[in-house]
Structure 1
Amino acid sequence: MSISDLYSRGKHKQEIGHFASIIKIAKTDGIISEGEQLLLDRAAKKLNINEEEYSVILKSPEKFPVNPPVSYDERIERLYLLTKMIFADEDVAKEEVGILRKIAVALHFSADNAEKVCDEAIHLVLNDNDLDDFTAAIKNVNAE
């Protein structure tokens, strides 16, 4: 087995963990709205999640660990996508924000700073900031 095989498997585990996190947020209110379903389908495609994996993860997302990427920018991008999922059904639930904070800690944002980082992430997505602006703002908030 080559190193590239190991890397691709490790990368795919990260993608599966991230997709499971997105599903956890989508399922917090017990239903997946049309907007959430669209975002899930796009995320699955972007993360190379096949139909079989999609179905298994959808049934039990809690069985899959977060597996955060090493890159700080990739972790911020994951936070961005997760925050967008909160707004996909146009109804932000308190439980979704709680899950987002837990996942932020799992993405290696400090437990002491996760609330501030998530509050800023929500504010940025609410104001329709793109990924570049989101990344710069989160780096600024997380550096404090």
Structure 2
Amino acid sequence: MSISDLYFNGEHKKEIGHFANIVKIAKADGKISEEEKALLIKTGKRLNISLEEFTAIINNPEKFPINPPISYDERIERLYRLTKMVLVDGEAALKEVKLLRKIAVGLHFSIDNAEKVCDEAIHLVMNDNNLEDFTSAIKKINLV
């Protein structure tokens, strides 16, 4: 196995973990809505999740660890994608917000700051901020 294969496999494991977190948020209220399903399919394709992996993750997302990226910008991008799932149906359900905060800690946002970061993330996505503006705003409130 070459170094590039190892890198790809490690990166793919991170993508699987990220997709599993998105699924957890989609399932937080006990069902996956049509909007959530459409976003899951789109996200699965973007992350190169195979049909077999997609099915396994949908059936048991808790089985897959978070595997956060090392890069701070990539962690913020993950937060952005997760927040999009929280709001895909037009509202931020309390169960989804609580889970988002828990996952944010898993993405290495501090326990003390996770609530503030997630509240700001929801506000930014609700106001249709793009990833660049979202990243800038999160960095301002999450002083590392």
TM-score (norm 2): 0.98
* Structure 1 residue 34 corresponds to structure 2 residue 34: yes
Rounded to whole Å, the distance in 2 between the matches of 1:35 and 1:71 is 30
Matched positions, count:
144
Matched, 1:59 2:70: no
Structure 1's consecutive aligned runs of 4 or more residues displaced over 6 angstroms after TM superposition are: none
Structure 2 Cα separation of the partners of residues 142 and 92 of structure 1: 21
Larger mean Cα displacement after TM superposition, 116-125 or 83-92: 83-92
**Whole-angstrom CA distance in 1 between matches of 2:43 and 2:74:** 15
Equivalence for 1:8: 8
Alpha-carbon distance, 1:95 to partner: 0.7
CA RMSD of aligned residues (A): 0.9
The equivalent of 1:140 in structure 2 is: 140
**How many angstroms does 1:91 deviate by?**
2.9
Counterparts of 1:18 and 1:44, CA distance in 2: 10
> Is residue 2:119 matched to residue 1:119?
yes
Which whole-Å deviations, capped at 9, do the CAs of 1:93-130 have from their partners, x for residues lacking one?
10100100010000011111101100100000011100
Cα distance, 1:31 vs structure 2: 1.1
SS at match of 1:143: coil
**Percentage of identical aligned residues:** 67
AA matched with 2:51: E
| Gapped regions of structure 2 (runs ≥ 5) | none
Aligned-residue offset at 1:65: 0.5
CA distance in 2, matches of 1:19, 1:84: 13
Look up the match of 2:69: 69
